Structure 1
Amino acid sequence: MSSGFVFERERSERGLQRGRIILQKGNIYLNREDGEQYELVEYLDEDTQVMIRHLYTRKTKIANVYQLENVKINEREDVAVDLSAISDEYWEKALEKYEMIKPLLNAEQYNPSAVKARAKEVGVSERSLYRYIQAYYSLGSIAGLIDRKRGWSKDRSRLTQEQENLVAKVISDFYLHKQRPTIEQTIREVQRIAHIQGIESPSRRTIRQRILRISEEERLRKRGQREKARNKFTPKPHSFPNVDFPLSVIQIDHTPVDLIIVDNKHRMPIGRPYLTLAMDIYSRMITGYYLSLDEPSVTSVAMCIARSILPKERLLLDHNIKGEWAVFGYPSKIHVDNGADFRALDLSKSCAAHGIALEFRPVGRPEYGGHIERVIGTFMKEVHGLSGTTFSNTKEKDNYASENEAVMTLDEFESWLINYIVNVYHKRTHSALGVSPVQKWRLGIFGDKDHEGCGYPQLPIDEQTLLLDFLPSEKRTIQHNGVTIDGLRYYDVVLNMYINDTDDKGKNKEFLFRRDPRNIGRIWFYDPKLKRYFPIPFADQSLPDMSIWEYKQVRQYLKDKDEKLIHSQQINEALTEMRERVEQSAQRTKKARRQAQRQKVHAKSEVVIPTAVETNNAPPIQPISNGLLLDDSDFTFGDIE
């Protein structure tokens, strides 16, 4: 299940970069092919081609969008940090600014009357709104709105409980009223009641921020505009609100595949894989997927999102699929159900850092999830035509012996899946659209005489940062023997300068680490001074690489043997013994064969970020690809716990 590519190693020295390549006509870009600056002149409705014009010679030529880079990369070091290092206080302020400018993003930002009206509505100056818009587009996400100054200290509270109660009551009883008082009138009401009660009034800015947190739907509904709220926010059957262009909303969901697959070695049945699928609601194009032998998790969701954003050319090459899958770029919103894997805080923060709104399906409103569920149903009907299908129910299955008929490995099924997406589903007329998904996508991107296209989607400046941002994070202190996570010890000399480091109060500092569950043989340490990641291997180099699920099995195995103190030698011996048993029984039991296959897939997940020394002999720059793992030579797309 390989889909690797080579990263630009010199990028690892530049640290984290969350900016975007915004592909707009008239913008200036650096062409990677010759290092010269060009103006983007025209989109070409063919693959991912554009016409560019040299800034000095004025000669035009055709280029691939993946060759273009922003001329100037944002230099804000204060946001070039791991997401977990940005306090909730900073995020809160940034989100408040984002809510102020949200209606102005895209076309409205150039409309002076719209900016003036919005400034009056939210109670800030027009100059501030222009500054917020510029800051937002400097990184293409909410991260650009994070304050540069220090946040509030931990022992300082913004409002007393009395002040909080006062503001909440005035907003509820006064502002959210059918008389629709203004924000300024609401601020004066808070000040008036505070004076009567003999407490200090919160600042005007704080009161305004509390009001701006109220959703537009709640504001309309509670201020006597229920019909307007209903028309704007209630979807019609088989429709989704505010889907006006490609990637305005994508939906993601999971499903067990209605197919028994076989292992690579013995070609014996090992059970059903799981599929995580992402779809663009506007065009019904599939934007990304994740195929796994393990049940869906927050990391499988994150990997599906990353694959959705990144280009797919290398993926097609790896699986020898002839066709086009020219879908890439940041979605404006990701819509999901209320499962725990979607509710994870890490996922929410990762999406916010990249300017992606994560929205959950309203309880009791199944129409919000119907699109992705219907397309998954369409896919499974096609799967029912494959040997080894389980069908969708026992009535359909009848006397069909799925395991006896199973013939496809996970790799083979993945190739079949990609080919079906690219060459069948995308090209077949969609009943709800009246055209094929690829035709609808191109209409949304390029437009025609009756429709204005939105242009190419935005790409990440640095894929490495995108992938790291979606990996699970941990905070740990650094001791003389390294850092310990889940009883496993990691060490590298890069940790030495932070051993027993303390804060101003004399407490041991906690540092940020990220870990890929598919291979916990190394973790990534975020150096807060250099603002970049370093791989940290097991302190005991005799330990083999393993996935998190294997490690959990090892710990349970040792616990069952009543071994209280677990050390490296025990882990190594237990893992070796377990793997030998699996290999011996692989031909006898389906569970063991599935575990053996799982182990092989996880073994492809070698994740290494090149160190500064390794970057001296950087390979030629490669086109941006679909790879989702960080490796010093090749990226593979493995399975996950």
Structure 2
Amino acid sequence: MKNDLFSVGSVFNLENNQFIVSQTKKDGFKASNLRNSSTLTFTYEKAQELIDTHALIFQKDSLSQTEVSFEDLPQEEQKLALKKLKLIELLAERRITKVSGTEKTKKAILDLSSDAGFTKAPHWQSVRKWCIEFTDAAGKIKGLYTNKNLRGNRKYRLSAIVEEIIDTEIDSFIRPSQPRISTLCRNIETEIIKYNLDNPTNVQRIPTRNTIIKRLNKTNLERRQRASKGSSTYELGLADSIAPFSTTHILERVEIDHTPLDIHLIHDVDSTLIGRPTLTALSDYHSGIVLGFQLSFEAASFAAVSSACLNAFLPKQEEIERLNIQGSWESHGIPETLVTDNGNEFWSDNFSEVGMQLGMVIQYAPIRHPNYKGAIERLFGSINTLFLDDLPGVVRKPHKKNDRYDPRQEALIPFTKFKCDFYDWVVNVYNNLPNEDGVTPKEIWNSSAKQQPIPIEDNLEVQLALLASHGATLMGNGISFLGLKYNSDAQKSLFRRDGKHKVSFKVNPYDLGEILVFDSRELVYITVPCLEYNYAKGTSIYEHREYKRIARKYKNQKLNNQDLMLAKIRQKNERDKIRGQNARRKTQVTTQKHTRIEKIGAPTFDLIPSNSSKSNEVPVEQTTVIKVKTEDWDIE
């Protein structure tokens, strides 16, 4: 028995039920009931027994043996049969039961065709044929079926030998390397010529290219797609475009992701090219509203994630007013479940700690299933089509742009102007776009918030949770982090009390001027400044590492503060040099690395009190103690 009889999509009748083959294996197949979606598993031997006893009949074979019901016809054939019946009834009302070629009959058919639903009047001979078939069927509508399934020559015109050669070559053709159709045709031609030379008395005709293509297209689509695209890509294409998630209220499910925006921006001061910004956004699944985002040149990292979460979890009205944007952005709050992809920044210990501190469940999307995060992916698609599409400097795909188009040379929008426009678009356009039901994300959010009010989170606690945690050994001379020393009178008191021991501390990734050291005994955070405060204040972790790299380049001995200060000067001179070159040249290059060093678009963490003093004295005497609320902690 050939397994091809039960290829995916084949329909057969068994015990007054119709089944469709849904999955095939080496030793059998699985079939689903067309009525109740129940499934049955068959072996090929069992299926052959059912065929031999006529218990299992293929649908294509049963059509010529049994009567087809009106409901089983395609919709087009049902409509055509009803039109024929209507025309015959209208003719009968005019007492025309036998159709002939008389002028009276022709005029009646012409007048009544539009009432029967025909756009063009049928020929009188066709109508006469319908009347005869309708009478032969005892006045039943089955006599008006077109029976397209019984038309044509059902026997293959090629010989069994050529058929076998074609099937064999197609089996070898469907493989991951996917050779060309012309190669398949040549191989079939070669095999037939070989057969003709061995059998001169039984010469076989070589099929045409169209015949071979038609025969190839009749093979199982699943098999062809798996061979050409791969099993993973094929199964992804069968997945639902929208993940079947059901939510009842806002913040029940929130999705987060990064994307580089398809646009080049310029510097606010000297108008030189700085490159493409990165957007980290959070979208509420229930309402579709943008919960928050971070727009900067920071790479996909925990710092970018924490900055976006800080914007999303806290109220944003002050930021809206600062940017002079008309409108309101009500969304805020900590989500119950935060859905992420499998990036390293989401699998980090710091991110897991954020989830535990804020009470969020972190849920990771399956690999290579972007539809699992459909809300955030739709947001990114809307940004490209509704906001960025007609802006100067937009990045086009290679097949959708002129060969001479260079988005870097078309860039005209400064970063701050773009950020304000993007805020305005999110607040006043995207959050007010109606969905398929005619309801906007903002209306859904406000309605759900009335039923279940969202509390305003404590600013200090949220910022504390979103800062990255690190560990170090507290020594008599303080704590060392990234080659920088941190110490204060309060920290010395910890050393005098507990001696040398491990401590945890939190760091602002955009400002190494101070760190927050946690006193595990008293449950308080102590602000400890850097001993090289003039250098570290306002310096980000990325910026500090770049300075160390430059200092190593010019000096291979132990780094000290003087080396880093000189590196800082050289980095500033390098940025000015590139911008000066860009200002004088027609073809500009991006300065995205230097833009990241300048922290353009980076948020401001107000957790640590800023110190405006730039004197050479280290302000070690200014120590801030932050108490941690422990009333709701569970003691084990």
State the TM-score, normalized to the length of structure 2: 0.54
Counterpart of 1:316 (choices 316, 320, 333) is 320
Q: Is the 8 A contact 1:519 1:602 kept in 2?
A: no
One-letter identity of the residue aligned with 2:507:
R
- Which residue does 1:342 correspond to in 2? 346
Residues 567/613 of structure 1: CA separation in 2 closer, same or farther (3 Å cut)? closer
Question: How big is the shift at 1:391?
Answer: 2.8
- Which residue does 2:413 correspond to in 1? 408
Q: Look up the SS of the partner of 2:334 in the other structure.
A: coil
Q: Look up the SS of the partner of 1:459 in the other structure.
A: coil
Question: How big is the shift at 1:326?
Answer: 0.7
Aligned equivalents of 2:253 and 2:601: distance in 1? 34
Aligned equivalents of 2:609 and 2:513: distance in 1? 17
Residues 386/538 of structure 1: CA separation in 2 closer, same or farther (3 Å cut)? same
Q: Is the 8 A contact 2:313 2:332 kept in 1?
A: yes
Aligned equivalents of 1:502 and 1:324: distance in 2? 51
Residues 440/239 of structure 1: CA separation in 2 closer, same or farther (3 Å cut)? farther
Question: How big is the shift at 1:514?
Answer: 0.8
Residues 368/397 of structure 1: CA separation in 2 closer, same or farther (3 Å cut)? farther
Counterpart of 1:445 (choices 441, 445, 449) is 449
Aligned equivalents of 1:430 and 1:583: distance in 2? 48
- Which residue does 1:280 correspond to in 2? 284
Note the alpha carbon deviations across 1:561-608, whole angstroms, 9 max, x for none. Answer: 351211111111221222123223322156684455434436976656
Question: How big is the shift at 1:239?
Answer: 3.7
Q: Is the 8 A contact 1:519 1:603 kept in 2?
A: no
Question: How big is the shift at 1:235?
Answer: 9.6
Q: Is the 8 A contact 1:535 1:609 kept in 2?
A: no
The answer to whether the aligner puts 1:379 opposite 2:371 as a matched pair is: no
Counterpart of 2:455 (choices 458, 461, 470) is 458
- Which residue does 1:585 correspond to in 2? 578
The answer to whether the aligner puts 1:531 opposite 2:531 as a matched pair is: no
Question: How big is the shift at 1:254?
Answer: 0.7
Question: How big is the shift at 1:486?
Answer: 1.4
Gaps of 5+ in 2: 1-237, 583-587, 613-623, 627-636
Q: Look up the SS of the partner of 2:423 in the other structure.
A: helix
- Which residue does 2:431 correspond to in 1? 426
Which structure ranks higher in relative contact order (CA pairs < 8 Å, sequence separation ≥ 6)? Answer: 1
- What pairs up with 1:262-277 in 2 under 5 angstroms? 262-277=266-281
One-letter identity of the residue aligned with 1:582:
R
Q: Is the 8 A contact 2:297 2:600 kept in 1?
A: no
Q: Is the 8 A contact 2:295 2:601 kept in 1?
A: no
Aligned residues: 370
Residues 610/247 of structure 1: CA separation in 2 closer, same or farther (3 Å cut)? closer
- What pairs up with 1:31-430 in 2 under 5 angstroms? 237-381=241-385, 382-396=387-401, 398-430=403-435
Question: How big is the shift at 1:480?
Answer: 2.4
Aligned equivalents of 1:274 and 1:612: distance in 2? 27
Aligned equivalents of 1:348 and 1:377: distance in 2? 29
Aligned equivalents of 2:604 and 2:474: distance in 1? 24
One-letter identity of the residue aligned with 1:331:
P
- Which residue does 1:601 correspond to in 2? 599
Aligned equivalents of 1:470 and 1:341: distance in 2? 13
Note the alpha carbon deviations across 1:366-407, whole angstroms, 9 max, x for none. Answer: 421222112201111221211111134452465333222212
- Which residue does 2:508 correspond to in 1? 516
- Which residue does 2:466 correspond to in 1? 470
The structure whose Rg is larger is: 2
Note the alpha carbon deviations across 1:401-444, whole angstroms, 9 max, x for none. Answer: 3222212122111111111111111112123x542211222333
- Which residue does 1:565 correspond to in 2? 558
The answer to whether the aligner puts 1:490 opposite 2:486 as a matched pair is: yes
One-letter identity of the residue aligned with 1:526:
F
Aligned equivalents of 1:409 and 1:613: distance in 2? 30
Q: Look up the SS of the partner of 1:587 in the other structure.
A: helix
Aligned equivalents of 1:548 and 1:565: distance in 2? 19
Aligned equivalents of 2:426 and 2:601: distance in 1? 27
Q: Is the 8 A contact 2:514 2:608 kept in 1?
A: no
Q: Is the 8 A contact 1:391 1:397 kept in 2?
A: no
Question: How big is the shift at 1:465?
Answer: 1.3
Counterpart of 1:481 (choices 464, 469, 477) is 477
Aligned equivalents of 2:463 and 2:327: distance in 1? 26
Q: Is the 8 A contact 2:463 2:607 kept in 1?
A: no
Q: Look up the SS of the partner of 2:295 in the other structure.
A: strand
Residues 280/607 of structure 1: CA separation in 2 closer, same or farther (3 Å cut)? closer
Aligned equivalents of 2:459 and 2:439: distance in 1? 33
Aligned equivalents of 2:373 and 2:362: distance in 1? 14
Aligned equivalents of 1:464 and 1:263: distance in 2? 32
Aligned equivalents of 2:467 and 2:399: distance in 1? 39
Q: Look up the SS of the partner of 1:551 in the other structure.
A: helix
Question: How big is the shift at 1:485?
Answer: 0.6
Q: Is the 8 A contact 2:253 2:337 kept in 1?
A: yes
Residues 265/365 of structure 1: CA separation in 2 closer, same or farther (3 Å cut)? closer
Aligned equivalents of 1:463 and 1:397: distance in 2? 49
Percent of pairs with identical residues: 22
Q: Is the 8 A contact 2:464 2:607 kept in 1?
A: no
Aligned equivalents of 2:403 and 2:331: distance in 1? 39
Aligned equivalents of 2:417 and 2:454: distance in 1? 31
Aligned equivalents of 2:370 and 2:534: distance in 1? 52
Q: Look up the SS of the partner of 1:586 in the other structure.
A: helix
Residues 343/554 of structure 1: CA separation in 2 closer, same or farther (3 Å cut)? same
One-letter identity of the residue aligned with 1:585:
I
Q: Look up the SS of the partner of 1:477 in the other structure.
A: strand
Q: Is the 8 A contact 2:512 2:540 kept in 1?
A: yes
Residues 613/488 of structure 1: CA separation in 2 closer, same or farther (3 Å cut)? closer
Question: How big is the shift at 1:281?
Answer: 0.6
Aligned equivalents of 1:423 and 1:526: distance in 2? 42
Aligned equivalents of 1:555 and 1:537: distance in 2? 20
Note the alpha carbon deviations across 1:292-314, whole angstroms, 9 max, x for none. Answer: 11211112112212211111101
Q: Look up the SS of the partner of 2:535 in the other structure.
A: coil
Question: How big is the shift at 1:330?
Answer: 1.8
- Which residue does 1:24 correspond to in 2? none
- Which residue does 1:224 correspond to in 2? none
**Once superposed, what is the RMSD of the aligned Cα atoms?**
2.9
- Which residue does 2:633 correspond to in 1? none
Q: Is the 8 A contact 2:307 2:603 kept in 1?
A: no
One-letter identity of the residue aligned with 1:412:
K
State the TM-score, normalized to the length of structure 1: 0.54
Residues 364/609 of structure 1: CA separation in 2 closer, same or farther (3 Å cut)? closer
Gaps of 5+ in 1: 1-233, 447-452, 615-629, 633-641
Q: Look up the SS of the partner of 2:501 in the other structure.
A: coil
Aligned equivalents of 2:522 and 2:281: distance in 1? 37
Aligned equivalents of 1:349 and 1:242: distance in 2? 27
Q: Look up the SS of the partner of 2:533 in the other structure.
A: coil
Q: Look up the SS of the partner of 1:276 in the other structure.
A: strand
Q: Is the 8 A contact 2:468 2:507 kept in 1?
A: yes
Note the alpha carbon deviations across 1:217-273, whole angstroms, 9 max, x for none. Answer: xxxxxxxxxxxxxxxxx9965144242211110101111011110001111211100
